[in-house]
Each structure stands twice: as C-alpha cells, then as structure tokens.
Amino acid sequence: MGLLSEGTPLQWSEVSKYVDHVREHGIIQLLHTLEKYKNRQNDPFLWGDEVEYIVVNLSDGKATLGLRQNDILGKLMLISDSENVNFHPEYGRYMIESTPLKPFDASWDSLVDLETNMRHRRQIASRYMTPTEHLVTMSSYPLLGVGHFAETEGTVKGPVTQSEFMPDDVINLHPRFPTLSSNIRERRGKKVEITVPVFHDVNTPQPWVDPLLKDRPVGVSSQEIYMDAMGFGMGCCCLQLTFQGASIDGARDLYDALAPLTPLFLALSAGSPVFRGVVADQDVRWNVISQSVDDRTDDEKKTIPKSRYDSIDCYISRKNEILNQNTDFYNDIPVLTNDKVTEQLREGGLENDPLLVQHFSHYFIRDPLVIFEELLDQDDKNSMDHFENIQTTNWQTMRFKPPPNASIGWRTEFRPCEIQFTDFENAAFCVVVVLLARTIVANKLCFYQPISQIDENMKQAHVRDPVHRAKFWVRLSVQDQDKDSKPVFKQLTLNDIFNGNDEYIGLLPLVRDYLKSPHSEPLPEKVSNKVNQYLDLLSKRASGELDTAATWIRKFINSHPDYKHDSIVTEKINFDLVTAINKIGSGEGWNTIAQSMFRGF
C-alpha cells in the first residue's frame, strides 16, 4: 500500500505548508516520466496479483490478531528469488501482502501457474508462523476493534487515532502508517467517522443499542455500526491485479474497459458481513475503507463529492472513438480539478490530451498526507516520489500507473475484489479478470457506460446479498462498434450479467467464446480444465447455486449455538468461524466445511 520511504515524517501542521510544493514537483516528475516513456510501444502483456493476509493466533479457544509483522517480514524478505515470491508490509501490523516476484505473461500456462504460485506463497509464509499463528485470507476480521482482539497490551485512545476501540499499536510500525492515520485525522479536524447499517435479526433490539458504544456520536443513527479509526478500513484485505499494457494507450484503454466491471466483481467477491463484532446489512468492505481514509473537512464535503478511496470519476482513453465522440455522455459526473495543475500539465505538453489532464489534475485536488522531511527536495528528472505520494493515496477502483523505470511499462490496476478464503478462489477471480481483459482487447469489446451508472452500481454492490437482491446497470451491446448507434443500458442481476440471458451475452460466455476461438497456441488440456473450473465457480456464485463468502459467513453465524440472533458476534463464534476459515484456506476439509461455497469442486 503505497510508498515506503525512510525518514522523518512531518506532522500535519508542517505538511500543510508543503502541499503545493509536493503537487508542483509531483507534476514536474510526471511530465518527465511522460516525456521519457510516452512512446514506448509493444510492451508484452504481463500481469500479477496481490494477496493480503491476516495473521491470527488460534489457541485455547481464543482468536487474537498476531502483531509479529516485522519479525515475519524480516524473514520473508530473505527468501531466495528463485522461489518467485515476494512479500510486503500492509497497514495492519497483523497483515502481510504477497505477490509473485516476476509477473505472469500471456502464455496459457500462466493461467495455471498463478494458483500454484499463490499456494507456494501461502506455504512459505506459513513456515514463519509460530505453532499457534495462522495465515488467513478473509476480507474483514469480525472482531476487529472488539475487546482484546490483538496480541497487545496497548490501550485505546492513543495519540495517533484517538480511537475508542482500536489501540494505535495494531498499526504497522513503519512511520508512514501512523502518520498517515494521524494526518488524516488532523486534516479533517476530527476522528474519522465510519458507519455501516446494522443487520436487524429477529432478536436485535429496535432501536438498536450498540453494546460497545458509550455515547453515540452526533450524526450516527441507532441503525448504524460506528467505527472511528483508519484501521477498520485499511485493516481489511483485498485481491488486486495489475496489467501491463502494450503502450500508454493500451493501458488507458484497459483502464476504461475494466472500470465498469469493478462493482460487479466487488459484489461477486463479497466477503465482509461483520464489522466491529456486529452483523452488518452489507456484504463488502469498500465503503468502510472509503470512510476510514476520508480526509475531507465538513466544508469540503459540500463541494468534493467523494473520498480519496472511491470509485473512479472519469474515463481516460485517447483512442477509443465511442468515448471520444460522446465524452460528456460517458464522463457524466462533475470531476473536480486543480486549476494550477491543469495549467502545468497543459503547458508541459498535454494541451491536446484533455482526458489525461483531467485525470491527473483530478487526483491532484488532494493534499499529500505524509511527507518525509529529508525527501522534500528531489531530483525531479529521476524521482517520482512526490507524484507517487499523491497517486498512491488516491485509492480508486482502478489505477493507471506510469512506468517506475525503464524495465516496466504503463500499467492498469484492478482493485475492487475482496480476498477469498482459498487460493483456488483467489486464482479463479484473477484468471477470469485476466481472460476478460484479453477477450476485451482481442474482440474490441465495448463496456462503456456513463460513470454515474458505475457509481449507482457501486451502491448496489453494497446491498446485502447482492446476488439475490441487487441489480446493476450494463451496456447490453458490448460487441457494438458502431459509434453512431444508440446504446441501450439495462439493470440486470449478477446472474444475468455473468451467465448471460436473452438480451445480454454475459461475461463468462464471452470468455468461453474467446477461449474457443482459434489461437496461435492451442489451449492445453490441463489449462482448459483449470480455467473451466474457475469459470464454473464464478458462474455458480453469480447464479446463487453456490454461496459467496459473505453469505456463507452469515449462515455460519446464524447456525452457531452461541448466536442469540441479536446481530452480535461473540468471541466463541469468532473463534470457531476463523478456525473454520483457516482450515478451508489451508485446504483441510475445505469442501466439507463450506459445502455451500464449493459443492462440486
């Protein structure tokens, strides 16, 4: 998550003096990078995933988050390159992130190698756990912020977050992370306020009385679960994918092509039905993170519609005719920009590229949140530090990434998915997105829809049980290349969208057709068997034949003898749930424990 520079981080009162300096030099750095790499062509199609884990201690019937991040990562960083694994820190001190060391390529074998590599990463990292520690992949830890939820004697109301639930020492010890948290709080002038609707079960009091909350803050309703620290959001885990485009335009086209898919994949990967020990009336983590890093002041909220962590605001392709002839129709929401930055970009050579100017200028309405004193003055020709400072704290559903150096090209990141319990599922989600990206490029498919529809779809992705209860806008004619024809948009279920219906071809049938079309290298049987399993898994999750992780967690809680049907997840329920998810993730009896998620696999 972002840039880990060494040095002395400035507190907000100091940072605020340098925000324009960082913006100005960030753009100078970007312009140098554009100059250097704008003509790169024919970069190979490469891709890679990021998996986020939590470390949980399971012993004596108690589950607590383990905080040995530094020890564990210190060892993992020494793993030989030949293992093709890489580990990184994440926001929570109980989190670890992994990626393949080398990216995957366009070969068919890559589609199988991914799962093998994911399993390898899990096995390697698991070697450095104590006998009671376990590496678990679940997107929101149910008891985060409840009682003695982590291996710490630290107390709440610490100076960094001032949270009444979460001690500061569950935050990664690298100074970037506590500083990010306290500077967000100081910039907005008060603690972050995160609310999600509570799920009303048969015995949930009406109005609901939050057992952990002494005084309900002004503005928080009795229907809401309230949280007050960045960790409630950035302590959640996701699955991300990055693609290298053939050129800057290739990466921009892919950014636009995948953006409409983000709410759909968020909803299908849903795995977060519990926050701060309370069952929520939503299944995904997204708006929790969005609120957890929202540094806008109350006044700014009146004019800046979105948090820094949110769905994208504008498409960016320069070459797509459908977009370019109907830009206002598709880029249909107000996009705030920074006038100075717009000017700087235009004067710096982008006067004929309004969509790219808008995109970056829009990121640069935000202030830098963490500045290291020693890094204030940089060699702008060779550093991207100031640019990355702002770029990597605009956490949107997609990210367009300039080359960091000559050996890496222009890239596009797909960021919505929730992490799944098993490497099989994580690989399935990744491979389907990779194949969709390939199908879109090969068949020049068009998913463009107004950005306001994607925003509406993001809301739908937050409906509880989105498979059965939500509908999402889609462009019906994805094969439509006729820029003059009038596209038709319709709200469909995830089943219709993934599996297709009379009116809509369906995402998975598109991929299946692509796989059947002639390719220079025929698909080996081992690859087609694996890929068919992945497609079947997503197809059955979308149709409701198999449960999403969130639905399965709800069922587990609902049938637990300790559950009083009052929306409260007890320590015992949490222990049993996390123990089960740990078993599922490590492959022990996975399809017997969670039949409703895996039947037939």
In the complex, what is the shortest distance from the CB of residue 319 to Mg ion, in angstroms, rounded to a whole number?
30
Give 162 or 292: the residue with its C-beta nearer to Mg ion: 292
For residue 323, CA distances in Å to 1, 352, 439, 444, 450 come to 31, 16, 19, 13, 10
461, 310 Cβ separation under 8 angstroms: no
In the complex, what is the shortest distance from the CB of residue 467 to ligand GLU, in angstroms, rounded to a whole number?
21
Residue 52 interacts with ligand GLU (CB under 6 A)? yes
Which of these ranges, 159-167, 231-239, 481-489, 564-572, lies near ligand GLU under the rule CB under 6 A?
231-239
Give 97 or 425: the residue with its C-beta nearer to Mg ion: 97
- The three state secondary structure string of 496-519 is HHHHCCCCCCCHHHHHHHHHHCCC
Which of these ranges, 118-126, 233-241, 353-361, 560-568, lies near ligand GLU under the rule CB under 6 A?
233-241
Give 97 or 413: the residue with its C-beta nearer to Mg ion: 97
Which of these ranges, 230-238, 343-351, 358-366, 529-537, lies near ligand GLU under the rule CB under 6 A?
230-238
With CB under 6 A as the contact rule, the residue among 227, 230, 236, 507 that binds ligand GLU is 236
In the complex, what is the shortest distance from the CB of residue 238 to Mg ion, in angstroms, rounded to a whole number?
7
User: What does residue 545 show for φ and ψ, rounded to 5 degrees?
Assistant: -65, -35
In the complex, what is the shortest distance from the CB of residue 52 to Mg ion, in angstroms, rounded to a whole number?
5
Give 307 or 344: the residue with its C-beta nearer to ligand GLU: 307
- Structure-block tokens of residue 286: 């997204």
Give 242 or 317: the residue with its C-beta nearer to ligand GLU: 242
d(CA 220, CA 194): 9
Residue 238 interacts with ligand GLU (CB under 6 A)? yes
d(CA 471, CA 349): 43
Sign of CA dihedral 447, 452, 454, 456: negative
d(CA 111, CA 122): 18
Give 99 or 182: the residue with its C-beta nearer to ligand GLU: 99
Amino acid at 514: Y
Residue 176 contact partner, candidates ligand GLU, Mg ion, none, CB within 5 to 8 A by sort of partner = none
Residue 429 interacts with ligand GLU (CB under 6 A)? no
Residue 289 contact partner, candidates ligand GLU, Mg ion, none, CB within 5 to 8 A by sort of partner = ligand GLU
With CB under 6 A as the contact rule, the residue among 125, 180, 251, 289 that binds ligand GLU is 289
Determine the 3-state secondary structure of 245 from DSSP. coil
Q: How many residues bind Mg ion (CB under 5 A)?
A: 2
With CB under 6 A as the contact rule, the residue among 87, 395, 400, 563 that binds ligand GLU is 395
181, 230 Cβ separation under 8 angstroms: yes
Residue 65 interacts with Mg ion (CB under 5 A)? no
Residue 114 interacts with Mg ion (CB under 5 A)? no
In the complex, what is the shortest distance from the CB of residue 488 to ligand GLU, in angstroms, rounded to a whole number?
33
- The three state secondary structure string of 151-180 is CCCCCCCCCCCCCCCCCHHHECCCCHHHHH
Q: Which residue has tokens 């309703």?
A: 221
In the complex, what is the shortest distance from the CB of residue 97 to Mg ion, in angstroms, rounded to a whole number?
5
Residue 1 interacts with ligand GLU (CB under 6 A)? yes
Which 88-107 positions form the footprint of Mg ion (CB under 5 A)?
97
Q: Which residues of 425-455 are buried (b: 16+ CB within 10 A; e: fewer)?
A: bbbbbbbbbbbbbbbbbeeebbbbbbbebbb
Give 93 or 252: the residue with its C-beta nearer to Mg ion: 93
448, 478 Cβ separation under 8 angstroms: no
Residue 1 interacts with Mg ion (CB under 5 A)? yes
Give 54 or 112: the residue with its C-beta nearer to ligand GLU: 54
Residue 237 interacts with ligand GLU (CB under 6 A)? yes
What residues contact residue 30 under an 8 Å CB cut-off, 6+ apart?
Answer: 345, 360, 384, 387, 402
| Peptide bond just before 273 cis, omega within 30 deg | no
- The three state secondary structure string of 323-366 is HHHCHHHHCCCCCCCCHHHHHHHHHHHHCCCHHHHHHHHHHCCC
Residues near ligand GLU (CB under 6 A): 1, 52, 234, 236-238, 285, 289, 395
